[in-house]
Chains A and B, each alone.
Chain A
Amino acid sequence: MRWFDSLFRRNPPSAQIAKSRLKVAIQIDRNNLSPELINMIQDDIVRAISQRIDIDRDGMKISTERDEGGQRLIADIPIKAVRAKAASGE
């Protein structure tokens, strides 16, 4: 049924694809941080924080921003429960 899908065009219009691809490409150009590298950083953060508290990995957002003061990495990490994991360890 692929011909049928293509007839009614289920996939997004190419202008939309262009725009979203561009946004990512430009972000990488500006920051020198690829999505691949951000993913690795995200894994590192999850590993570090999860030792202490439960976090919602899927709801986590890592982004970069550039302002007058330079470049910054912003992590928005929803907490599931502060169950003082650390206590058991120490």
Chain B
Amino acid sequence: MAGTVITITSGKGGVGKTTTTANLGVALARRGKRVACIDADIGLRNLDVILGLENRIVYDIVDVVEGRARLRQALIRDKRLPELQMLPAAQTRDKTAVNPQQMLKLADDLRAETDFVLIDSPAGIEHGFKNALAPAERVIIVTTPEVSAVRDADRIIGMVEAAEKPKPQLILNRLRPGMVKRQEMMSTEDVIEILAIDLVGIVPEDEMIITSANRGSPVAFDEKSQAGQAYGRIAQRILGQDVPFPVFDDNTGILKRFQSWFRNPNGGGGA
């Protein structure tokens, strides 16, 4: 059975598209699914460093599209998790090097041999976004509870609708439960009310996201952290399981902070 193509997008930059793509890739692969992640951000590739695969790039997406390399040669298989592969973006070209028809063909070739194709969309609403959207069978929109990110998410929802794709699902990223409690940050309910799409996951703000990016080892490899667990739950929901949304603790209290220091004294290693 051919795999499902899911495009991860947001409109606004810096809300966590690449981190989300990498972690969902890992979380799905850890559940035995064959996953191929495509970095569609040509000219500004980053999925490679987040996944820790940057040293292994030989060919990229433009090489494949222009026929200099076969798809299989360009795909990088993760040695930690053989179910996971990545197709890197080109770094020395721009978004016009690939067109939506080529993306459709590429995604089609990939889905023949995988369960999921995850496309990491570039920010913006132009060429690169349209490339990433063209082959999408499902669309996941990542936003943070900030006015600029939510506004851009609404624009993207409109464009996904205009492209006659199924209604996108939402991942609310970097939620800070302490701020929500003090009513200094919009809550999950607030954001859903405004965007009127279904929620597929909430990822709380977690320092582990930064330390794991530093190491090139996504948090979903080790589902002990709050964010790692959140990605695990999202993967399960993508697989069709009914997983309840937990209420997140306020991590800003002094006692909680002490506890978290004791829980991971050096951020945790992980082999």
Which residues of B are found within 8 Å of A18, using beta-carbon distances? 146-147, 186, 190
Q: Chain A, interface size: which category?
A: 10 to 19
- Secondary structure at the B interface, as helix, strand, loop or mixed, is helix
Q: Is the Cβ of A22 less than 8 Å from the Cβ of B158? A: no
A22 to B150: give the CA distance in the assembly, Å. 8
Which residues of B are found within 8 Å of A14, using beta-carbon distances? 183-185
Q: Is the Cβ of A29 less than 8 Å from the Cβ of B194? A: no
Which residues of B are found within 8 Å of A15, using beta-carbon distances? 179-180, 183-187, 190
Does A69 sit within 8 A of B, measured CB to CB? Answer: no
A16 to B179: give the CA distance in the assembly, Å. 12
Does A57 sit within 8 A of B, measured CB to CB? Answer: no
- Secondary structure at the A interface, as helix, strand, loop or mixed, is helix
Which residues of A are found within 8 Å of B194, using beta-carbon distances? 19, 22-23, 26
Which residues of A are found within 8 Å of B183, using beta-carbon distances? 13-16
| Chain A residue with the shortest CB-CB distance to B190 | A19
- Minimum distance in angstroms from A54 CB to a CB of chain B: 38
Q: Among A13, A23, A25, A30, point to the contact of B158 (Cβ < 8 A).
A: A30
Q: Is the Cβ of A13 less than 8 Å from the Cβ of B182? A: yes
- Minimum distance in angstroms from B265 CB to a CB of chain A: 34
Interface size on B, residues (CB 8 A): 18
Q: Which A residues from 1 to 58 make CB contacts under 8 A with B?
A: 13-16, 18-19, 21-23, 25-26, 29-30
A26 to B190: give the CA distance in the assembly, Å. 14
Which residues of B are found within 8 Å of A22, using beta-carbon distances? 147, 150-151, 186, 194
Q: Which B residues from 123 to 157 make CB contacts under 8 A with A?
A: 146-147, 150-151, 154-155
- Minimum distance in angstroms from B178 CB to a CB of chain A: 12
Q: Which B residues from 178 to 209 make CB contacts under 8 A with A?
A: 179-180, 182-187, 190, 193-194
A15 to B186: give the CA distance in the assembly, Å. 5
Q: Is the Cβ of B186 less than 8 Å from the Cβ of A26? A: no
A30 to B182: give the CA distance in the assembly, Å. 31
Q: Is the Cβ of A19 less than 8 Å from the Cβ of B186? A: yes
Query: What is B's interface to A at a CB cutoff of 8 Å?
Result: 146-147, 150-151, 154-155, 158, 179-180, 182-187, 190, 193-194
| Sample of 20 further A-B pairs with CB below 8 A, known A15-B183, A15-B184, A15-B187 | A13-B183, A13-B184, A14-B183, A14-B184, A15-B179, A15-B180, A15-B185, A15-B186, A15-B190, A16-B183, A18-B186, A19-B193, A19-B194, A21-B147, A22-B150, A25-B147, A26-B151, A26-B194, A29-B155, A30-B158
Q: List 17 A-B contacts (CB under 8 A).
A: A13-B182, A13-B183, A15-B179, A15-B180, A15-B183, A15-B185, A15-B187, A18-B146, A18-B186, A19-B186, A19-B190, A22-B147, A22-B194, A25-B151, A26-B151, A26-B194, A29-B151
Give the top 9 A-B pairs by smallest Cβ distance, nearest first: A13-B183, A15-B183, A26-B154, A19-B190, A15-B186, A14-B184, A18-B147, A18-B186, A22-B147
